[in-house]
Structure 1
Amino acid sequence: MLGEMWSFKGRYKILHMTWFAFFLSFVVWFNFPPFATTIGQEFGLTKPQLGTIGLCNVALTVPARVIIGMLLDKYGPRLTYSILLMYAAIPCIIFATAQSFNQLVIGRLLMGIVGAGFVIGIRMVAEWFPPKDVGTAEGIYGGWGNFGSAFSAFTMVIFAVALSFLPGAFNFGEAQTFKVLFFPAFETAILNWRVAIAGTGIIAALYGALYLVSVTDTPPGKEYKRPEKARGIEVTTKRDFWFLMAMNLPLNLILMVLAWRLQKVGFLDNTGITIAILAIVGLYLFQSWNCWEVNKDLMTGKKRYAPEDRYEFMQVAMLELTYIVNFGSELAVVTMLPAFFEGTFDSVDKAAAGIIASSYAFMNLASRPGGGIISDKLGSRKWTMVVLTGGMGIGYLLMSTVNGAWPIPLAVLLTMACSFFVQSSEGATFAMVPLVKRRITGQIAGNVGAYGNVGAVAYLTTRLLLTENSGAANGGEPVMSAVNAGFFQVLGIGGLIVAFLCIFFMKEPKGSFAEFHEGEEVFESSAEEATY
């Protein structure tokens, strides 16, 4: 497969166009952090307010991934991805034209929906690649697309400088002077962050239109299988229905955590927090009702699934847990690594800390595809997951021991090794997602992806609480070395617990290494060539 990948024909064209769609969605989703300091100065924001904007960026991604998974299964990935990319221009323009903290928050809340784009490509790639290659294909899609976050961090500022040379009619809001790393000639350049952020949204929208006319949901002659109802996840046993209800709870509880955070920074008053909590409870009840409607015949005894048509929801739950500890931890760690290196090593300044920390995100280019390749080649997707998740846990525990006495190169090497296990574990997770139950792959991918954001918010909130507790115990000034050690210990223990659970509860997906998807007709070689 890897040798044919650069042909840009057939399935490989779909793979390249789809990972680039994901790449653009992440460039848009992460276009705030490079300008956080500048925006904070322009609006006079406090650190808690800036932190809240960052949390808002992932807030609506949780329900959005679930909802988009439903729409994806019903309408197909081509239309769903195209509309999402076109939508990206709306929150970008809202954020770019904001004149107050509240408007910034609204813009980032709406931006969180763009972060749900990842799940769409999971099904698109799964439709075009057979099970034996799906781990590698999904790894390339996830790893190369996920690089959009690192690309945004490195290029958004330079993009803003370039746009500042446009005629005055294209420059709006207050311009900021700044210093561009590696470009001393730009030390007095104008940073037009507003045009840069709006520009990324417009580029994404244009690519959405191109994607709409350039791809198809399935290869020629292959049927796109849709669930009978896409309002909720279809389960195949009564016990699994109640398990589904339980696993939906964390998706809503994490939204309450975000509402609490918005209250702490003054965005929500007492009335607002009450309304938010009632809305979240209503969301859970609405979600539960939809799941009941989808599975009503099963629950009332009118429908029974044949053994060959059943799947175990436990396998979905296990993939949700793995994505909490791998992708959830990645999102959390990326936000604190620059400050971690700067605070741990006296010889490391802000610029160097940013470069070192970026190595974590850069590893996505190889690590996530690596996880998919290992999952395809090792012969057991379950044990691939166990080993990679366990290695991630050990890596985080080792990072909790890093202090100023460590040689910096060794600390960087450990960071990159840890990120390999984290991102390879992500690749292994989505090597299994399309193999659970094909006709509801979008909804499974949506729920698993949403749990990654649950993990991110949970880990970031944990670090916030560790910081506050340390400050309270030390006269208002937290001991960040202890906070960071505790944070990495939480990540490491979480990874080891999930690896342990995978040993006992995760099963090898049916047909993991088959030439064709389950239930498909085995065509002659010429037809196979057209289909795959």
Structure 2
Amino acid sequence: MSSQRLNLLSFSGKTKILHMTWMAFFISFVVWFNHAPLMMVIAKTLGMNNSEIKTILILNVALTIPARIVIGILVDKFGPKRTYSTLLAAGSVPCFMFAFATSFEQLALARFLLGFIGAGFVIGIRMVGEWFPAKQVGIAEGIYGGWGNFGSAAAAGALPALALIYGGDEGWRYAIATTGVIALIYSVVYFFSVSDTPKGSTYFKPKKAGAMEVTSIWDLFFYILMSVPLYATLSLLTWKLSPTGANLLSNGAALSIYTGIWVLFLYNVYKIIHVNEEHLQHPIEEIHKYKFKQVAILDLAYFITFGSELAVVSMLPLFFFDTFHESHGITMVEAGLLGGSFAFINLVARPIGGWISDKFGRKLSLSIFVLGLSVGYFCMSMIDSEWPIALAVLVTMSCSCFVSGGCGAVYAIVPLIKRRMTGQIAGMVGAYGNVGGVLFLTILSFVTPAVFFVVIAAVALSVLIAVQFIDEPKGHMAEVQEDGTVEMIELN
């Protein structure tokens, strides 16, 4: 069956799995972003100041970076059915903690823990990759990512209304708790409605848990090198909370966190070496080899696509307000709606990005999307108060098409590298998206929006060069059955 004949109106077989899984992702994002539209009301209830509000926003993403790595390991070991169901159920606990917190400290702890549910995205990548063949995996992953990602927008639209329905000064508590109840119920529904693989298929697992297997000594060093930015980003987040940043951590507390982060890095290096040392001492058959550069390039591609999207979505409403408030008289609400146009396009553009990747080739498609977003951000850097608002929105949405399409193109390749490690690969690639968001927002705190857009455009051109070194998935990948027989999985 070609990707053009994927029947989304069906609710059986692999299409049922796709619908059930994007809904799980959708709910996880509703829970992850349930605070955003209600933040001002929450702050008023608990008497929070601006620094404390910023702290909550930072804590919301802090745990997601390591969580995506951990979830990738767990999904490869235990399967997506059990992992997604467990994550949704476990995620409801800090959701209830947040809803009924009575102090800033309780609120902050709950928000920090809720960052773990943001890693749910990784699980569905493995699930969809198991159920869809290579010629359909791009559009399927695109639908999963694009439709599920809309959960953040759904939370923004539905939760304020739900809080009003509950009524009272603390209606927000019941609105947020409702999302926890939904996650808890759906965790049970998901567990009893899906299976990890189609009937008769094998769910391949890594030989050892704790880190990805690599197939050459140089890839081992490359893997360790590519892990450094993940821990550096956690250090950057700590710096933002330290006395030199938001001044919400003491020097002693910040130093303790820095130490913990890099001790964790050293432990990660130990696990990488431990997982790989034995099999790298023996010759590895050519059919079992893969190139870690494929993962590294996808890390960079998601860094610029999803990373820039995270950053731009966060700053765009204020950018439109500051740019057009005096010249065109737009309100903050109107600016928010205009800014939301950047993320809204995800619903369509991400699946289209995956479909184009299926149809016209993975490397070519990713190259076009990265080049397009570079041009798009450069055009956005020229937006000023003299521009017609309609033209500014058109340029913004055009850029967003390439950004979201690029996200779809990245995850059209992820399941085609090494099947038994798809979760870990998806986790590392996804973590790099968060790294990009943190880094670009940090850059924004030092420069003007115009320079910010130019920086993203320039970084995208560097990533475009890297993309030219990725290998087009073709032929077959080999996985070993429990009885020792080799199964060849088609890649094109």
Q: Same fold (TM over 0.5)?
A: yes
The residue aligned with 2:350 is: 368
- Retained in 1: the 8 A contact 2:366–2:406? yes
Q: 2:293 aligns with which of 314, 334, 339?
A: 314
Q: 2:391 aligns with which of 380, 390, 410?
A: 410
Per-residue CA distance 1:144-172 (angstroms, 9 max, x = gap): 001111111111101111222xxxxxxxx
The residue aligned with 2:436 is: 455
Matched ranges for 1:143-292 at <5 A:
143-164=146-167, 175-176=168-169, 192-263=171-242, 264-292=245-273
The residue aligned with 1:494 is: 459
Q: 1:330 aligns with which of 296, 309, 318?
A: 309
- Retained in 2: the 8 A contact 1:400–1:484? yes
- Matched to 1:390, the amino acid is L
How big is the shift at 1:101?
Answer: 2.4
Per-residue CA distance 1:57-86 (angstroms, 9 max, x = gap): 111100000010000000000000000011
In percent, how many aligned pairs have the same letter? Answer: 48
Q: How many residues align?
A: 476
- Retained in 2: the 8 A contact 1:131–1:511? no
- Matched to 1:39, the amino acid is I
Distance (whole Å) between structure 1 residues aligned to residue 56 and residue 66 of structure 2: 18
Q: 1:349 aligns with which of 331, 349, 358?
A: 331
How big is the shift at 1:521?
Answer: 6.5
How big is the shift at 1:357?
Answer: 1.3
- Matched to 1:426, the amino acid is C
Q: Structure 1 residues 9, 232: CA separation in 2 closer, same or farther (over 3 Å shift)?
A: same
Per-residue CA distance 1:383-409 (angstroms, 9 max, x = gap): 110110110111011101101100001
TM-score scaled by structure 1?
A: 0.87
Provide runs of 4+ in structure 1 moved above 6 Å.
none
How big is the shift at 1:512?
Answer: 8.3
Unaligned runs of 5+ in 2: 478-484
Q: Secondary structure at the match of 1:52?
A: helix
Q: Are residue 54 (structure 1) and residue 18 (structure 2) matched?
A: no
- Matched to 2:40, the amino acid is T
The residue aligned with 1:434 is: 415
Q: Structure 1 residues 424, 519: CA separation in 2 closer, same or farther (over 3 Å shift)?
A: farther
TM-score scaled by structure 2?
A: 0.94
How big is the shift at 1:51?
Answer: 2.2
Q: Structure 1 residues 522, 50: CA separation in 2 closer, same or farther (over 3 Å shift)?
A: closer
Distance (whole Å) between structure 2 residues aligned to residue 111 and residue 464 of structure 1: 25
Q: Secondary structure at the match of 2:199?
A: coil
Distance (whole Å) between structure 1 residues aligned to residue 342 and residue 53 of structure 2: 22
- Retained in 2: the 8 A contact 1:394–1:496? no
The residue aligned with 1:29 is: 32
- Retained in 2: the 8 A contact 1:237–1:298? no
How big is the shift at 1:284?
Answer: 0.5
- Retained in 1: the 8 A contact 2:476–2:488? no
- Matched to 2:228, the amino acid is L
Q: Secondary structure at the match of 2:445?
A: helix
The residue aligned with 1:129 is: 132
Per-residue CA distance 1:242-266 (angstroms, 9 max, x = gap): 0001011111111111111122334
How big is the shift at 1:488?
Answer: 1.1
Per-residue CA distance 1:452-505 (angstroms, 9 max, x = gap): 111111111111233xxxxxxxxxxxxxxxx111111111111121112212x2
How big is the shift at 1:37?
Answer: 1.9
Distance (whole Å) between structure 2 residues aligned to residue 110 and residue 369 of structure 1: 30
Q: 1:382 aligns with which of 342, 360, 363?
A: 363
Distance (whole Å) between structure 1 residues aligned to residue 368 and residue 476 of structure 2: 18
- Retained in 1: the 8 A contact 2:476–2:489? no
Q: Are residue 484 (structure 1) and residue 466 (structure 2) matched?
A: no
The residue aligned with 2:482 is: none
The residue aligned with 2:11 is: 8
The residue aligned with 1:167 is: none
Per-residue CA distance 1:385-442 (angstroms, 9 max, x = gap): 0110110111011101101100001111111111110000000000000001111111
Q: Secondary structure at the match of 1:345?
A: helix
Q: Secondary structure at the match of 1:246?
A: helix
Per-residue CA distance 1:115-140 (angstroms, 9 max, x = gap): 00000000000000001110010000
How big is the shift at 1:211?
Answer: 0.4
More deviation in 265-274 or 285-294? 265-274
